[in-house]
Amino acid sequence: MRALRRRVPGEIMQQKRLNLLSISCLASAIWAAGVESAAAQSAALEEVVVTARRRAESFQDVPVTITAFDEGDIASAGIERPQDFISLTPNVTLVETQNQGTSFITVRGISQARNSEPSVAVLVDGVLMSSPAQFTQELFDVQQIEVLKGAQGAVYGRNAIGGAIVINTREPGEEFSGRARLGYDSGPGMTAQVMGSGPLGGSDTLKYHAALSYFDTDGYIDNAYLGEEADPYRDTSARLRLLWEPSDRLRTDARLYYSEVDTQALYFTIDFAEDANNTSLPVRVNNPGMNERELGQLAFKADYDFDSGTLTSITSYDSIEEILTGDQFDNLPIEESLFFALFGDDWAQSQFLDVETLSQEVRFTSDADQRLRWIAGAYAITTDRYISTGNIVDRGLGAFPVYRTPRGAFPFDPVSYPDSFQTTFLADAQDNFAWALFGEIAYDITDSTEMSFAMRYDEDTREQTTLTPTPFLPTGLDAFFGEVREHTWDELQPRLTLTFEPTDDLTLFGGYGRGFRSGGFNQTGVGAAALAAGFLGVGDLFTDQVADTLELGLKSRLADGRVNLNFSVFDTQSDGGYFFVFLAESSTQNLGSLGEVEYRGYELDLTARVTDNLEMFVGYGATDSEITESVDPAHIGKEAPLVSENTLNVGAQYVRPIGGSGLELFVRADYQRIGDTYWEPVNYTVRDPVNLLDWRLGVRGESWSLIGWQRNSNDVRYNTEFSPGGFLFPAKPRRWGIDFTKEF
């Protein structure tokens, strides 16, 4: 039975007091930082250069709400994975769940669900990630990260409906340099990284940057049944960049990336009362399962400078292959499971994903020192995807991986596979092609006023072929082997922005932007089956999503550049968002349409150099979402799924010389609060606020550092995800480690 959680008046008043306390703390920090920094006469904060509009510009001048992390920030905060920088960004959250390739990012309420496109466009060195399964990867040689909030579709295209994440890795250097890092963590585990950069063979025109990363840990989450950790993790990744500059006009950049992950998956706990806050259930799966993922990328970028601007070409080939196996519902040991009680056998599951993409972008960027600046370009991508999911009998011999061919014939085949045979199997292939035309014009009306207009047209055609063998097609679904379905989604995405800079230290901006995310296919016949099961809004297709955003913001530098204070407010009207539905009768994972949702909120962030030794970081974000139109009346007036009502980030970093030794003491602490979070459109359960504390402490020399760290220092037990049906995915508990880094 579902646990209906109602917000009683006492809880509402308590939440209001917590919000008031958060805002009061934020205001006090701003006041204290401003006063102390003015008195301390400390050095100004360094200027940050960003590429949010596909050209290098000062952070202060860009009319976009951005949280940026330069190389120093990445090192001091210990950013090694996407979760690390997202946890430092107001109004942005990330759910890591189920397996290595499954994560849901939410920006200003615009969320992601299983099997949907992401809610942000993610670019690494200018190449757009082609699949959300690529997002969770090691960030071992990254130079800068920019998190852009608000619809960025006019610049970055489909999926930039909530924003964009721009990641730039280190470029080859003019002279040889290198870095090595060794680390130990409480898993126990170890990290080893080595990087080298410089001219190749003494050449003046050809340079390289090579990096290798290895991470291996036993894990942190106990499996009480097996007496081992549920989340061991091993990652081996490598990156190579070759930069060739044969002339002042031509610059080419070839990039090769490979990553191999070996971990486990599907270690859910099940709460039949469906309480998102239940952390009392230990992980007790009898199948540790497997999760192996391989990522590969080969990209080539060429820039040619003309007298009037730069012509850029980016070509990329990407491949993803991931297999995962593990326990099936109810994720209990065989003898205790529901299926064993009903059928005398327990079930396990296997999922396989194989994706290959080829993309091409061409754009021309005018010179930046003109009153009129412009960009024009085109983009195209082809995607070849295969996915299979299925259940197999679990007789205690392990959860066998299933790729493209089921284990045995339907209905059951204990003769050919006496150890474990297939009970369900679904498979399909997609052959997709998307293309876009885009452009932007920025004009300085006066020396202090700029108006910019961008427009992009995206068209996405998807062709899906049902490859489920006929005997395995779920009963009651109107589908057949070899069935081909095709649909095209397209959208114009405009963006209009006005920027006013009355002084060099104050930027005011406002504008309107549209974002677009393609729809997709559920299993054929699911619409009728979902309706029969009482789920409204679920069809054979799930629709595209279009979001229109109005935004006002300011960026300011105070106290002679020692304080950066930024604020923005937004109102987003969305049509076509998603929610997740699992149909047990057909064993299908599906997306339903939310209809219309309104998101309103704001962000305020501050960075202050209080003294030469002390910096402070404060960020607060609030998002109020409301489903205003839906085919299911029970959704109307409720919060949208995966939306956290607010986030608070407070941090401090202290660096002090140790006598005259040339060494310095380094201390950093970061506190994050994630507010009430809703998981499905009826809002029958909500996860209470989560409060997390991280710290880092160490000694640094001129070319080396020794840093100890702890994440989730206060050892908060919470669920990183709740999914209807009572599925809970536990978050990682307290963990610690020590890292030694040497530059040479």
Q: Where are the domains of the chain?
A: 9-167+176-743
Q: Kindly report the CA angle at 718 between 717 and 720, in degrees rounded to 5?
A: 135
Q: Give which of 654, 658, 691 is closest to 674, Cα–Cα.
A: 691
- Residue pair 326/273 in contact (Cβ under 8 Å)? The answer is no
Q: Give which of 447, 388, 382 is closest to 587, Cα–Cα.
A: 388
Residue 587 pLDDT class (50, 70, 90 cuts)? low
461-469 mean pLDDT: 94
Residue 22 pLDDT class (50, 70, 90 cuts)? very low
619-623 mean pLDDT: 97
Q: DSSP assignment, residue 42?
A: P
Higher pLDDT, 475 or 173: 173
**Residue 606: what pLDDT?**
96
Distance, CA of 613 to CA of 668 (rounded, Å): 12
**Residue 30: what pLDDT?**
43
**Residue 261: what pLDDT?**
97
Distance, CA of 597 to CA of 298 (rounded, Å): 39
Judge whether residue 28 has pLDDT over 50. Answer: no
Distance, CA of 603 to CA of 567 (rounded, Å): 6
**Which string of b and e fits 88-113 if b means at least 16 CB within 10 Å?**
bbbbbbbbbbbbbbbbbbbbbbbbbb
Three-state DSSP class for 389? strand
Distance, CA of 5 to CA of 511 (rounded, Å): 38
119-125 mean pLDDT: 93
**Residue 267: what pLDDT?**
96
Burial class (CB in 10 A: 0-12, 13-18, 19+), 552: middle
- Whole-Å CA distances, 80 to 85, 87, 221, 732: 8, 12, 20, 16
- Residue pair 206/199 in contact (Cβ under 8 Å)? The answer is yes
**Residue 594: what pLDDT?**
86
Do you know the residue count of the chain?
744
Question: What does R_g of the chain's alpha carbons equal in angstroms?
Answer: 26
**Residue 589: what pLDDT?**
78
Residue 411 pLDDT class (50, 70, 90 cuts)? confident
Q: Which are the contacts of 329, defined by CB distance < 8 A and separation ≥ 6?
A: 270, 338, 339, 347, 584, 725, 727
**Residue 651: what pLDDT?**
97
Residue 452 pLDDT class (50, 70, 90 cuts)? very high
236-262 mean pLDDT: 97
**What confidence tens digit (pLDDT) does each residue in 673-700 have?**
999 999 999 999 999 999 999 999 999 9
The DSSP H or E segment spanning 528 is helix 526-532
Three-state DSSP class for 314? strand
- Whole-Å CA distances, 8 to 4, 78, 278, 643, 678: 12, 40, 19, 20, 16
**What confidence tens digit (pLDDT) does each residue in 559-581 have?**
999 999 999 999 999 998 888 88
The DSSP H or E segment spanning 271 is none
Q: DSSP assignment, residue 707?
A: E
- Residue pair 522/538 in contact (Cβ under 8 Å)? The answer is yes
Q: Give which of 652, 697, 619, 657 is closest to 36, Cα–Cα.
A: 652
**Residue 5: what pLDDT?**
38
Higher pLDDT, 40 or 305: 305
Q: Helix/strand/coil (H, E, C) string of 428-450?
A: EEEEEEEEEEEEEEEEEEECCEE
End-to-end CA distance of the chain: 61
Judge whether residue 18 has pLDDT over 80. Answer: no
Judge whether residue 525 has pLDDT over 60. Answer: yes
Residue 526: phi and psi, rounded to 5, are -65, -35
Tell me which amino acid residue 453 is.
F
454-465 mean pLDDT: 96
| Superfamily of segment(s) 9-167+176-743 | TonB-dependent receptor, beta-barrel domain (2.40.170.20)
Q: Which are the contacts of 624, defined by CB distance < 8 A and separation ≥ 6?
A: 599, 600, 601, 645
**Residue 599: what pLDDT?**
96
Place of tokens 């299983």: 114
Q: Give which of 206, 213, 146 is closest to 173, Cα–Cα.
A: 206
Q: DSSP assignment, residue 634?
A: G
Judge whether residue 210 has pLDDT over 80. Answer: yes
188-209 mean pLDDT: 94
The DSSP H or E segment spanning 508 is strand 506-517
Q: Kindly report the CA angle at 375 between 370 and 376, in degrees rounded to 5?
A: 145
- Residue pair 158/437 in contact (Cβ under 8 Å)? The answer is no
Residue 507 pLDDT class (50, 70, 90 cuts)? very high
Region of 537 on the Ramachandran plot (φ > 0 left; ψ -120 to 50 alpha; else beta): left
- Residue pair 149/679 in contact (Cβ under 8 Å)? The answer is no
Residue 16: phi and psi, rounded to 5, are -65, -40
Q: What percentage of the chain has pLDDT greater than the value 70?
A: 94
Q: Give which of 641, 735, 596 is closest to 93, Cα–Cα.
A: 641
Residue 555: phi and psi, rounded to 5, are -130, 135
Q: Which two tokens stand for residue 730?
A: 């536990």
Residue 585 pLDDT class (50, 70, 90 cuts)? low
Distance, CA of 295 to CA of 309 (rounded, Å): 34
- Whole-Å CA distances, 531 to 476, 539, 583, 610: 12, 9, 11, 60
526-540 mean pLDDT: 81
**Residue 584: what pLDDT?**
66
| Least confident range of 23-32, 471-480, 728-737 | 23-32
Residue 535 pLDDT class (50, 70, 90 cuts)? confident
- Residue pair 292/276 in contact (Cβ under 8 Å)? The answer is no
414-431 mean pLDDT: 90
Residue 41 pLDDT class (50, 70, 90 cuts)? low
Please state, rounded to an integer, the average pLDDT across all residues of the chain.
90
